[in-house]
C-alpha cells in the first residue's frame, strides 16, 4: 500500500519572519514519521503588497511599483539571511534574485501597458507563495530535513477564472500522485506554495484570497492524506473572532457542516471552500497554533459530539451590501426570480443571504465595484435600491435543528438593534441576520456573553 501522509499548511503569520519559520521547522520535524506534505502561504502581508504593486503598475506608476517590489526583495533576503548559513544563503540568494528579476520585468510590462488584467494580477500575486515555499524549503534543508520544493503550478490544475480559479480535480489528483508520491516514498518532505495553480495551458492562476487553506485540502484529498493540519496564529476555531471578543473560547471539536457555515460567514481562520474536498474523503481537519504547538487545537470531523450549548460559534462578515428589488408589476409573476438570478450571474456576483416576499426580494452580496452595473441592469425589470456598510451575523450550531425558541432568545437580546434581514439557513444549523456594520462589535459581544458564559466542557476549552 502507498505510504500514508499528512498535510501541514502554514498561514502567513506562521511564516512571517525568521523566528516564525524556525518554529515551523521544528513543528515539521516533530511530524516527520507521519510523512508531512507542507503547504505554505505567502509571508504575512506579502499578498496585499503584491496586489498593491499590481494596481500601482496598472496605473502606470512604474517607479512606485518597483520601489514596493524592492521592499519585498529586502524582506525576503533579510529573512533568508537570518535563517540560512553563509554557503546556503549565497546559493539561495541567486535563486531568489531570479524570481525578483522576473517579478520586476512583469511590473515593468504592466506599467508600460498601463492596464491590469485579472491574468496579470494573478501572475504578480503568485510570487508571494513562490517565494515563501522556496524560503521554507531552504530553511528545512538548512536544518537537516530533506525537503523538496514542488511548484504548485505543476500540480494544481485550474480553470481560467483568474483571481478566483476553480481546481480541476481529476487532472490535479493525477498530477499530485505523479509528482508527490515518489517524494513521500523516498521519505522526503514536499513543500508547495498554497493559493496558486495553473491552467491546462500552464498560465498561472490563483484560487481566491485566503485560498492556501483550500490548497491544503485539495492536496490532502488528492493524496488521500490521513489528516490536514491548518497551522495559524490562534489556538483553533474559537467561539467568535478573538480580535472582536477576547473572551472567545476554543472549540475542541466541530462538525464539517458547522465549520463550513462559519467560514462562509466570516470566520477568516478557515477558507470557506476548505472543508469540501476533505468532507468527500472524510479526512479530519485540525486547526492548530504555530505559536503554541502543544495546544490540541480544533478538530473538524464528520460529526461533532452533541453539546449542551445552543451554539458553537458566532461569525460576522462586514462589507456587505443589501440589494432590495421591488417589482409590484411582477406580482407573483412566473420567472421573476429567475431573471434576478440571471442578472447576478451575468455580473458574476455571488449572493449570500436572500429573503423574498410576493413583491420584493432582498439579497446580500459582498460590497464590490460591479454593484452599480448590476443595479442598472436589474432596474430594467424592477425598482432597485442598494445600501452598503452592512454586516452579516451568523450563529451556528447543530442544536438549532432541535431546540425550539432559539430565535426568540437571540432577538430578545437585540431589541434595540435594527435587523434588516433574517434567515434561518436551509442547512438548519445557522441563524443569520443583517445589521449595520458599526454595530458588529457590540452585537457579537452581547450575544457571546449570553450564549457562551457557561460552556459544555466536552466541546469547549
Q: Closest CB to ligand ASP belongs to which residue?
A: 212
12/193 with CB nearer ligand ADP: 12
- Of 92, 127, 195, 433, the one binding ligand ASP (CB under 6 A) is 195
Q: Which of residues 184-243 bind Mg ion (CB under 5 A)?
A: 210
Q: Which of residues 254-313 bind Mg ion (CB under 5 A)?
A: none
Stretch that binds ligand ASP, among 101-109, 208-216, 244-252, 272-280 (CB under 6 A): 208-216
CB of 210 to Mg ion, least distance (A): 4
- Of 13, 47, 79, 432, the one binding ligand ASP (CB under 6 A) is 47
Say which entry of Mg ion, ligand ADP, ligand ASP, none residue 195 contacts (CB below 5 to 8 A, set by partner kind): ligand ASP
27/44 with CB nearer Mg ion: 44
CB of 11 to Mg ion, least distance (A): 5
11/397 with CB nearer Mg ion: 11
CB of 40 to ligand ADP, least distance (A): 11
CB of 229 to ligand ADP, least distance (A): 12
HEC-encoded secondary structure of the chain: CCCCCEEEEECHHHHCCHHHHHHHHHHHHHCHHHCEEEEECCCCCHHHHHHHHHHHHHCCCHHHHHHHHHHHHHHHHHHHHHHCCHHHHHHHHHHHHHHHHHHHHHHHHHHHHCCCCHHHHHHHHCHHHHHHHHHHHHHHHHCCCCEEECCHHHCCEECCCCCCCCECHHHHHHHHHHHHHHHHHCCCEEEEECCEEEECCCCEEECCCCCHHHHHHHHHHHCCCCEEEEEECCCCCECCCCCCCCCCCEECEEEHHHHHHHHHCCCCCCCCCCHHHHHHHCCCEEEEECCCCCCCCEEEECCCCCCCCCCCEEEEEEEEEEEEEECHHHCCCCCHHHHHHHHHHHCCCCCCCEEECCCEEEEEEECCCCHHHHHHHHCCCCEEEEEEEEEEEEEECHHHHCCCCHHHHHHHCCCCCCCCEEEECCCCCEEEEEEEHHHHHHHHHHHHHHHCCCCCCCCEC
CB of 210 to ligand ADP, least distance (A): 5
Residues that bind Mg ion (CB under 5 A): 11, 210
Residues that bind ligand ASP (CB under 6 A): 11-12, 41-42, 47, 128, 194-195, 209-213
Amino acid at each position: 500500500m502507498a505510504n500514508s501522509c499528512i498535510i501541514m499548511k502554514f498561514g502567513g503569520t506562521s511564516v512571517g519572519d525568521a523566528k516564525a519559520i524556525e518554529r515551523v521547522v521544528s513543528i515539521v520535524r516533530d511530524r516527520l514519521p507521519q510523512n508531512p506534505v507542507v503547504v505554505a502561504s505567502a509571508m504575512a502581508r506579502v499578498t496585499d503588497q503584491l496586489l498593491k504593486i499590481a494596481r500601482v503598475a496598472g496605473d502606470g506608476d512604474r517607479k512606485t511599483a518597483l520601489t514596493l517590489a524592492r521592499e519585498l526583495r529586502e524582506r525576503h533576503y533579510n529573512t533568508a539571511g537570518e535563517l540560512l548559513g553563509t554557503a546556503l544563503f549565497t546559493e539561495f540568494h541567486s535563486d531568489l534574485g531570479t524570481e525578483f528579476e522576473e517579478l520586476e520585468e512583469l511590473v515593468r510590462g504592466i506599467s508600460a501597458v498601463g492596464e491590469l488584467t485579472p491574468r496579470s494580477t494573478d501572475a504578480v500575486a503568485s510570487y508571494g507563495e513562490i517565494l515563501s515555499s522556496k524560503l521554507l524549503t531552504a530553511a528545512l534543508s538548512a536544518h537537516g530535513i530533506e525537503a523538496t520544493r514542488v511548484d504548485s503550478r505543476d500540480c494544481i490544475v485550474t480553470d481560467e477564472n483568474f483571481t478566483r480559479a476553480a481546481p480541476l480535480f481529476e487532472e490535479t489528483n493525477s498530477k499530485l500522485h505523479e509528482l508527490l508520491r515518489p517524494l513521500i516514498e523516498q521519505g522526503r518532505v514536499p513543500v508547495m506554495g498554497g493559493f496558486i495553480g495553473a491552467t491546462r495551458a500552464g498560465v498561472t492562476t490563483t484560487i481566491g484570497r485566503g485560498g492556501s487553506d483550500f490548497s491544503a485540502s485539495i492536496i490532502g484529498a488528492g493524496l488521500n492524506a490521513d489528516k490536514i493540519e491548518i497551522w495559524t496564529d490562534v489556538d483553533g476555531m474559537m467561539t467568535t473572532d478573538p480580535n472582536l471578543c477576547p473572551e472567545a473560547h476554543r472549540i475542541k471539536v466541530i462538525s464539517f457542516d458547522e465549520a463550513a457555515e462559519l467560514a462562509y460567514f466570516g470566520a477568516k481562520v478557515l477558507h470557506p471552500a476548505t472543508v469540501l474536498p476533505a468532507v468527500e474523503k472524510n479526512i479530519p481537519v485540525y486547526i492548530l497554533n504555530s505559536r503554541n504547538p502543544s495546544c490540541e487545537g480544533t478538530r473538524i470531523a464528520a460529526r461533532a459530539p452533541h453539546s449542551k450549548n445552543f451554539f458553537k460559534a458566532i461569525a460576522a462578515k462586514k462589507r456587505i451590501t443589501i440589494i432590495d428589488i421591488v417589482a409590484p408589476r411582477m406580482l407573483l409573476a412566473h420567472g421573476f426570480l429567475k431573471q434576478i438570478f440571471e442578472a447576478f450571474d451575468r455580473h458574476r456576483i455571488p449572493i449570500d443571504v436572500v429573503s423574498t416576499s410576493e413583491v420584493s426580494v432582498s439579497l446580500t452580496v459582498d460590497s464590490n465595484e460591479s454593484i452599480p452595473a448590476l443595479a442598472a441592469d436589474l432596474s430594467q425589470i424592477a425598482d432597485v435600491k442598494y445600501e452598503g456598510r452592512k454586516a452579516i451575523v451568523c450563529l451556528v450550531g447543530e442544536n438549532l435543528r432541535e431546540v425550539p425558541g432559539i430565535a426568540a432568545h437571540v432577538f430578545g437580546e437585540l431589541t434595540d438593534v435594527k435587523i434588516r434581514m433574517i434567515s434561518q439557513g436551509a442547512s438548519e444549523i445557522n441563524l443569520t441576520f443583517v445589521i449595520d456594520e458599526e454595530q458588529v462589535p457590540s452585537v457579537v459581544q452581547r450575544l457571546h456573553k449570553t450564549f457562551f458564559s457557561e460552556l459544555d466542557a466536552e466541546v469547549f476549552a
